[in-house]
Amino acid sequence: MVLDLTMSMAILAFMGALATIAGCLEDLESDVGSQSNPNSQVQLAPQMNFLHRIYNKAISGEPISNGLSAVIGGIVTTVMLNAKFFPLTAIVLGAFVAAIIYGIFATTSYAGRVASQSRFKQPLYMDIMRYTTPSIIAHNFIVCLCLVALAYIQSQILVPAHPFSIPFLALIWGISVGAIGSSVGDVHYGAEREFQNREFGCGLNTALSGRIVRRAESGLRNSIDNVWFCAKYGGPVTGIALGLTVFLSSWPTTVFGYTWIAIGVGVAIVLVMVILNRLLEINVKNAYGPYKEEKNEKEAAA
Amino acid sequence: MSEIKETSPNTLMAFGVIGGLLGIYLTYILPLAGNAAGGPVKGLLTTIAPAAGALGGICAIVWGAEAVRRVAKYGLGTGVPSIGQIAMGMGIIAAMFGLSIVGQLTLAGPIVALLTASVIGLIIGWFAQNVIKMKIPVMIRCMTEIAAAGSLVIIGFSAAAAGSFEFGSLITLVFDNGIILGVFWIGAMAMLHPFNACLGPDEKQKRLLYLAFSTGAITMAVTGIAGIMTLGNAGIFTLLVGVVIWLIFYKKFWDEVYKDAASVLGTGLIPKTEA
C-alpha cells in the first residue's frame, strides 16, 4: 500500500492523538497509585507518624513499569496476529493481558510495602486495594492499547515500514511514555497535591518530608481524590507533551520526505522550542523571583 | 532481625545454579529421551520439555532476587530497578556470547554463559567498589551472583520460548520476533520487583522469596503465551504450569502479608498517632 500525502498526514495525526491519550492516561495512572517521584513521600509518611489511606504502588520507576506492560501487550498482540486475529482484537487482547499483569504487580507492591512498615503501625486497607487496583488496571489498559496500536501502525501500516518488531517498538514507546510522564506530570501530584497546605512554590524543606496532606475536602484523602486533582492539569499537559513529541518529530519527514529540507525544518523546530522555553523561564523568574530562604533554614546552613 | 531464621545465601545460590542449569539442560535431554522412547511418550516429553527451561529460569530469579535484596539493603532505594536492569544487561551479553561461541558444542553453551556472566559481574562489581567507591561490602559478590542469575534467566526463558538453547534456533524463534525483549524486561522486573515491593524496615526474606516465585511464574506464563506462537502445544503447557505456580505463590505471599502487616482492615479511619 503506497500512502499519499493526505493519508500519511492522517496517520501521523492519528499517531499524535494516540500518543496524547497514552501520555495523559499514563500520568493519571501513576497518580492513582502514587508511583515514581511522589511515591517517596507516601513511603516516608508513616515513618513521620503520618499514617494514610493512599495507595503505595512501587512497581519501580514509570519508564520501567510502563515498558513492562507495553512489552507484554506487544508480545500477546504478536501472538494473536500470528494466529490470524483481526488487528484491533489482537491489540485489545494484548493490552488486556498486560493491564491485568500490571495490576497484579501493583497489588503485590502495595501489600508488600505496607507489610514492611509494620513497626510504624500503618494498616493495610483492603477497601483501598479493592477499588484503587481496578482503576490502575483500567488506566494502564488504555495506555497499553494506545502504545501497542502505535507500534502496530509503525511496523505494519507506515511506508516504509519500521524494521523493528511490535514488542520492540511497544517497549520503546512504553519507556518514552514513562519518562515523559515522570518528568512532566509528577510535579502536579508531588509538589502541588501532597503539599497542598503549604505556600505555592515554597520548595520542599527537609523538615516537611513525609508530612503529606491526608485529609480531603470531605473525609480522608485517597488515591482517587489525587487522580481527580491531577486530571485537571497534570495529566493533559503530559499528554500534550508526548503527543507533540510524536507529531513534531515525524512531521518534517512526512511532509518533505527523507531530505535535507526535513532536517532543516527539524532543527528549526528545536530552535523555536529553545527560544520559547527561555522566554518562559525569564517570565517565571520575573513573576516569582528567587527562592526566599526561611530564617531557620539560614541558621541550619550556618 | 537476627532471631528470624533466614535461608543462607549459599543455599539459595546452589538452588539457583543447580535448579537453573538442570531446567535448562532438561529442555535438551527430555526430547532426546522422547525420541529414544518413541510413541506417545515422545509427544508428551517434547511438550513438557520447554516448561523445564522456564522452571530453571524461576530458580535463577529467586536466587537473583535474594542477591538484589542483599546488595540493595545498603540503602539503594531508587537503585533497585537499576540493579535489576544491569543484571539482565550483563546476563544477556554473557548468554549470547556463551551460546554463540561454543559453535557445535551446544551443550557447553549455558555453562560458558554462566562463567562469562560471573566474570562480567565480578569486573563491574570491582569497578563499583574500587573505582566509584560505593563502599558496599557485599557489592562484588552480589554483582557476580546477579549477573550469573541474569544469564540463567535469559537462557532459561529463551529456551522455554524456542524449545532449545541452540543459538541458531534462538535467533529465528526468539530474537527476530522480539520475544527476547519480553524475556529481558519481564525477567528484570521479576528479579527486581520482590525487593522493591517489600522495601522497608520490616522486610522479611520469606515473603520476598514467595514474591520472587510469583513474579517468576508471571514471566513463565508470558513466555508460555509467546511459546504458543513458536511451539504450539508446548507453549500452552508452559502457560498453564506458570499460572498454577503463580496462584500457589501469590496465595503464599498474601498469607505472609496478613501475618506481617501491622493490621489488615476492611476499611476504617486512620489510627490516632502523635502527629
Phi, psi of A51 (to 5 degrees): -70, 150
B254 and A72 within 8 Å at the Cβ level: the answer is no
**Residue A55 predicted with pLDDT over 60:** yes
Q: What is the pLDDT of residue A293?
A: 63
A123 and B261 within 8 Å at the Cβ level: the answer is yes
Q: What is the pLDDT of residue A99?
A: 96
B81 and A60 within 8 Å at the Cβ level: the answer is yes
A219-231 pLDDT tens trace: 898 888 889 989 9
Cell 498486560 -> residue: A98
Angstrom distances, CA of residue A161 to CA of A1, A83, A191? 11, 21, 42
% helix / strand / coil in chain A, to the nearest 5? 75, 0, 25
Of A146, A150, A110, the closest CA to residue A128 belongs to A110
Question: Would you tell me which residues 234-263 of chain B have a C-beta closer than 8 angstroms to some C-beta of chain A?
Answer: 250, 253-254, 256-257, 260-263
Q: Which of A76, A113, A126 is nearest residue B225 as measured by Cβ atoms?
A: A76
**Residue B273 predicted with pLDDT over 90:** no
CA triple A289-A291-A297, angle to 5 deg: 155
Minimal Cα–Cα distance from B260 to chain A, Å?
6
Name residue B89's amino acid. Answer: G
Angstrom distances, CA of residue A97 to CA of A74, A255, B1, B225? 10, 37, 39, 10
In the predicted model, what is the mean pLDDT of residues A129-154? 94
In percent, the amount of chain B with pLDDT more than 70 equals 97
Q: pLDDT band at residue B129, thresholds of 50, 70 and 90? A: confident
> What residues pair up with A124 in beta bridges, in sequence order?
B264
Name which residue leads in pLDDT, B270 or B220. B220
B62-93 pLDDT tens trace: 999 999 999 888 876 667 888 888 889 999 99
In the predicted model, what is the mean pLDDT of residues B111-118? 94
Q: What is the pLDDT of residue A2?
A: 56
C-alpha cell at A10: 492522517
Minimal Cα–Cα distance from A176 to chain B, Å?
15
Q: What is the pLDDT of residue A26?
A: 94
Classify each residue of A15-50 as buried b or exposed e, where b means 16 or more C-beta atoms within 10 Å of its C-beta. Answer: bbebbbbbbbbbbbbbbbbbbbbbbbbbbebbebeb
A127 and B270 within 8 Å at the Cβ level: the answer is no
Residue of A nearest to B261 (CA): A115
Tell me the average pLDDT of chain B: 90
In the predicted model, what is the mean pLDDT of residues A236-251? 91
Q: What is the pLDDT of residue B81?
A: 85
In the predicted model, what is the mean pLDDT of residues B194-211? 91
Domain definitions of chain B by residue range: 9-259
Q: What is the pLDDT of residue A141?
A: 96
**Residue A120 predicted with pLDDT over 50:** yes
Name which residue leads in pLDDT, A162 or B159. B159
- In this structure, are residues A66 and A172 in contact, taking their beta carbons and an 8 Å threshold? no
Minimal Cα–Cα distance from B258 to chain A, Å?
8
Name which residue leads in pLDDT, B152 or A37. B152
**Residue B1 predicted with pLDDT over 50:** no
A173-202 pLDDT tens trace: 999 999 999 888 887 887 788 888 887 767
B163-176 pLDDT tens trace: 889 999 999 999 99
Q: pLDDT band at residue A211, thresholds of 50, 70 and 90? A: confident
**Residue A269 predicted with pLDDT over 90:** yes
A120 and B262 within 8 Å at the Cβ level: the answer is yes
Mutation target to probe the B interface, by most B beta carbons within 10 A, among A108, A144, A168 is: A108
In the predicted model, what is the mean pLDDT of residues B109-137? 90
Q: What is the pLDDT of residue B259?
A: 92
Cell 504502588 -> residue: A57
Cis peptide before A160 (omega within 30 of 0): yes
Contacts 24+ apart (CB under 8 A), B224-229: B224/B51, B224/B54, B224/B160, B225/A75, B225/A76, B225/A79, B225/A97, B226/A75, B226/A78, B226/A79, B226/B161, B226/B179, B226/B182, B227/B50, B227/B160, B227/B161, B227/B163, B228/A79, B228/A83, B229/A78, B229/A79, B229/A82, B229/A83, B229/B177
Tell me the average pLDDT of chain A: 89
pLDDT-wise least confident of A62-66, A94-98, A294-298, B118-122: A294-298
Q: What is the pLDDT of residue A297?
A: 61
Q: Which of B193, B196, B275 is nearest residue A49 as measured by Cβ atoms?
A: B275
Q: pLDDT band at residue A36, thresholds of 50, 70 and 90? A: confident
B261 and A111 within 8 Å at the Cβ level: the answer is yes
Q: pLDDT band at residue B187, thresholds of 50, 70 and 90? A: very high
**Residue A159 predicted with pLDDT over 80:** no
Name residue A90's amino acid. Answer: A
Question: Would you tell me which residues 153-172 of chain B have a C-beta closer than 8 angstroms to some C-beta of chain A?
Answer: none
B201 and A117 within 8 Å at the Cβ level: the answer is yes
C-alpha cell at B190: 521479576
